[in-house]
């Protein structure tokens, strides 16, 4: 899953949210210096990724893209799924998306000193272009996919993936909806279990 889903699946716990958000910027076990709850957020992120990668519905979405995008397919599906979460946000939260996102940016700014360096580098762009809010529209997703393609030096051809999304929009949305219900249940169980320890 991509940024918005990981933030959402932290169940409004601020420290878990931080760890779950920046976990991709942490290698191996190099997170022991963080406060306990942030460490648990990193572990929760990894559990979510493992569950997603193995899930037949997420794999089905990825398979639809594999011919054109090879191993980048999973990354693209993560971005698509964040789009559907943002677009259908009111189905999942009583807090409007723009308010939810602003609260998250405030959380990042309040904890800037402890963020990993790659997160600190990314953060100004994320906030200035309001990535999380703009996931809700196709123009925002198109910008994300173009940015990802530039980062792969045009090898991934992810800039074309907006066309696949438009062509198979209903299938991807249905897959997201069915998968995300299961992911919420799984993540909530992991969250409870991690917070007990």
Cα 68 to Cα 65, 144, 157, 158, 173, distances in angstroms:
6, 18, 8, 9, 20
Both tokens of residue 121? 């580098």
Q: Which residues, including other chains, have CB under 8 Å from residue 64's CB and lie 6 or more apart?
A: 164, 168, 171, 172
- At 180 the pLDDT is 98
Q: What angle do CA 15, 52, 94 make, to 5 degrees?
A: 55
Q: What is the mean pLDDT of the chain?
A: 95
pLDDT for 108: 97
| Residue 197 confidence (pLDDT) above 80 | no
Q: What is the per-residue pLDDT for 64?
A: 97
Report whether pLDDT(115) > 80: yes
Q: Which two tokens mark 176?
A: 């997201």
Count Cα atoms within 13 angstroms, Cβ side, for 117.
1
pTM for this predicted structure: 0.95
**Position 31 confidence tier, pLDDT thresholds 50, 70, 90:** confident
- 121, pLDDT greater than 80: yes
């Amino acid at each position: 899953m991509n940024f918005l889903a990981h933030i959402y699946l932290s169940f409004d716990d601020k420290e878990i949210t931080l760890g779950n958000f920046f976990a991709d910027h942490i290698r191996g076990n190099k997170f022991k210096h963080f406060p306990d709850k942030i460490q648990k957020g990193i572990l929760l992120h990894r559990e979510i990724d493992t569950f997603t990668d193995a899930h037949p519905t997420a794999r089905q979405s990825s398979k639809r893209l594999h011919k054109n995008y090879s191993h980048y397919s999973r990354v693209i599906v993560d971005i698509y799924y964040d789009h559907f979460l943002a677009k259908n946000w009111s189905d999942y939260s009583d807090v409007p998306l723009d308010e939810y996102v602003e609260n998250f940016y405030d959380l990042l700014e309040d904890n800037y000193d402890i963020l990993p360096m790659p997160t600190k580098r990314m953060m100004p762009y994320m906030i200035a272009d309001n990535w999380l809010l703009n996931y809700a529209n196709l123009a925002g997703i198109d910008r994300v996919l173009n940015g990802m393609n530039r980062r792969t030096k045009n090898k991934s051809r992810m800039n074309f993936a907006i066309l696949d999304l438009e062509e198979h929009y209903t299938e991807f949305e249905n897959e997201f909806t069915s998968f995300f219900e299961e992911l919420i249940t799984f993540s909530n169980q992991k969250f409870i279990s991690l917070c007990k320890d």
